[in-house]
Amino acid sequence: MIRASLVIIGDEILSGRTEDKNLSYLAKWLGKLGIDICEVRIVLDVERDIINAVNNLRKKYDYVFTTGGIGPTHDDITTDSIAKAFGVEARVDVNALEKMKDFLNGKELTEPLLKMLKIPEGGELIYSPATKAPGYKIGNVFVMAGIPKIMQGMLEGMYDYLEKGDVVHSKSLDIMVGESFFAEDLALIQNKFKNVSVGSYPFSRDGLYGATIVIRSTQESDLASCESLVKDLIAKL
Amino acid sequence: MIRASLVIIGDEILSGRTEDKNLSYLAKWLGKLGIDICEVRIVLDVERDIINAVNNLRKKYDYVFTTGGIGPTHDDITTDSIAKAFGVEARVDVNALEKMKDFLNGKELTEPLLKMLKIPEGGELIYSPATKAPGYKIGNVFVMAGIPKIMQGMLEGMYDYLEKGDVVHSKSLDIMVGESFFAEDLALIQNKFKNVSVGSYPFSRDGLYGATIVIRSTQESDLASCESLVKDLIAKL
């Protein structure tokens, strides 16, 4: 099992102004590589908070991903914070500078543009087709933009760096009664399969309660046997 | 400033299957009471992870809210975990039991239903109009359901328990150029106002880059002066 975590950096997510769209996309993309997101922290644009989250998580997990705070404005402090977390300086990267100059083709290279070309010493650039301002990898930490389109473009650049694990297969089955009517039978099914994780996720639709039963496993034969028992349970109810 | 944190409990959020809808709603609701969410952790349905998150955050923040994992199925382990975090037992609450019996009106009180009536010793019940299974408050921790409709209903039950702070007022202004074109001017505006937080949140729409400038303050007069400078900046560009 390869275990990862995500640090979402940004006041706007915590204030409720913006709903994060990156976790769901990243989790599904990593899931296909056999990498599971096991923890997420959402933190303010505050240096100490970013440093604490990154330093804590990079010891606990195989990989840490971050989104947000690598733009050109005064409230973009991710790169300086990551550099401090690793105890290194953030500097304008020579290759990133060349690429930006080519792109600008004689237009002015302003201070805000330069700021986006800084990365912590020892970092390796990761580009998105959507921008000339790179993300980067340092140690087991991958630093990405917060705008979903740019973040998604950076994933391809990370692919080669990531170790791949056993892919988790899953099946989802809806059941249109409240959870209390099948909780005991479902627990019996879970107990039969050590290699399958059986989850029940309740919902309400049009005033009726139901649940989605999600079964997940790296072992396809166990998953099929488990699915058959869940289907029997649904048919019984 | 009253500072809060949220623990979102659930494998389904971390796998990307379900997008969380509770953070945004809760943050806005608390914002109106002058309470700011300063950190969020999303954790697996794993006892140790829940305990660590809750025990860490209840020391750091005035309030901790949790969502998810208080249903009747085997993967609902929030209440047992919270009880362990506080070093107490989880027991069926007498008042919650009475209310459920009234509701059932002679129908069978099954084990799964009983499970939802357990709360940690010392907890106080918090009901949602949408269910007879309560949430609860223990110490500075508020434990709520994960289904948005039920969670939202529990907020009214929490209102009286919460200390209210100075309400943060905010203004949002869109600017239709890339951030690097105004980053330096915006930093000058931020430097003029100690009581206002000035944030820039970039977006791309139809292939064009822009940003929303969000200014936030408890001081309405400072906010108005700052807004006027931001409007001048937008007009200039």
Question: What are the pLDDT digits (tens) for B43-99?
Answer: 999 999 999 999 999 999 999 999 999 999 999 999 999 999 999 999 999 999 999
Across the strands, what pairs with A141?
A: A64, A138
Q: Which residues of A touch B152 (CB under 8 A)?
A: none
Q: What is the DSSP letter of A65?
A: E
The pTM for the full model equals 0.95
Per-residue pLDDT, A1? 87
Report the pLDDT averaged over residues B37-47: 98
Contacts of A181 in chain B (CB under 8 A): 112
Residues of chain A with Cβ-Cβ distance to B210 below 8 Å are none
Q: Do B25 and A18 touch (CB under 8 A)?
A: no
CA–CA distance, A145 with A157 (Å, rounded to integer): 13
- Residue at A124: amino acid letter: E
- A15 contacts on B by Cβ (under 8 Å): 27-28, 31, 36-37, 170, 216
Contacts of A37 in chain B (CB under 8 A): 14-16
> B142 to chain A nearest CA, in Å?
18
Of the candidate CATH numbers 3.40.50.300, 3.10.290.10, 3.30.70.600, 3.20.20.10, the domain formed by A169-236 belongs to: 3.30.70.600
Question: Cα–Cα distance between A79 and B198 in angstroms, integer?
Answer: 19
In chain B, which segments carry CATH 3.40.980.10? 2-161
Contact between B168 and B36 under an 8 Å Cβ cutoff? The reply is yes
For chain A, residues classed under CATH 3.30.70.600 are: 169-236
Strand-pair partners of A86 = none
The whole-number pLDDT of residue A207 equals: 78
Shortest Cα distance from B124 to chain A (angstroms)? 23
Smallest CA–CA distance from A182 into chain B, residue = B73
Confidence tier at B139 by pLDDT (50, 70, 90): very high
| CB within 8 Å: A11 and B116 | no
Query: How is residue B180 annotated by DSSP?
Result: G
| Superfamily classification of domain B2-161 | MoaB/Mog-like domain (3.40.980.10)
Q: How many CB pairs below 8 A link A and B?
A: 185
DSSP state of A178: -
- Coil, helix or strand for A175? strand
Spacing of C-alpha B31 from chain mean position: 10
- Asked if residue B213 has pLDDT above 90, the reply is yes
Q: Please tell me the distance from the alpha carbon of residue B94 to that of residue B99, in angstroms, as a whole number.
A: 9
Among the partner-chain residues A10, A184, A204, the one whose CB lies closest to the CB of B147 is: A204
User: What residue type is assigned to position A181 of the chain?
Assistant: F
pLDDT at residue B160, rounded to an integer: 95
* pLDDT tens per residue across span B155-190: 999 999 999 999 999 999 999 999 999 999 999 999
The residue in chain B having the minimum alpha-carbon distance to the alpha carbon of residue A191 is B74
Q: Which residue of B has its CA nearest to A180?
A: B112
In the prediction, which pLDDT does B131 show?
82
Cα B33–chain centre separation? 13
CA proximity to B49, closest of A11, A61, A122: A61
Give the pair of three-digit tokens for residue A50: 């970013």
At residue B210, the pLDDT reads: 93
Residue B23 has pLDDT above 90, yes or no: yes
Q: Give the 3-state secondary structure of residue B29.
A: helix
pLDDT, average across residues B15-39: 97
Q: What is the DSSP string of B124-155?
A: EEEEETTEEEEEEEETTEEEE-SSHHHHHHHH
Q: Would you call B33 helix, strand, or coil by DSSP?
A: coil
Q: How many residues does chain B have?
A: 237
Residues of chain B found within 8 Å of residue A19, distances taken between Cβ atoms: 19, 21, 23-24
Nearest residue on chain B to A187, alpha-carbon basis: B74
> How confident is the model at residue B205, as a pLDDT?
82
The stretches in chain A having pLDDT less than 70 are none
3-class SS of residue A187: helix
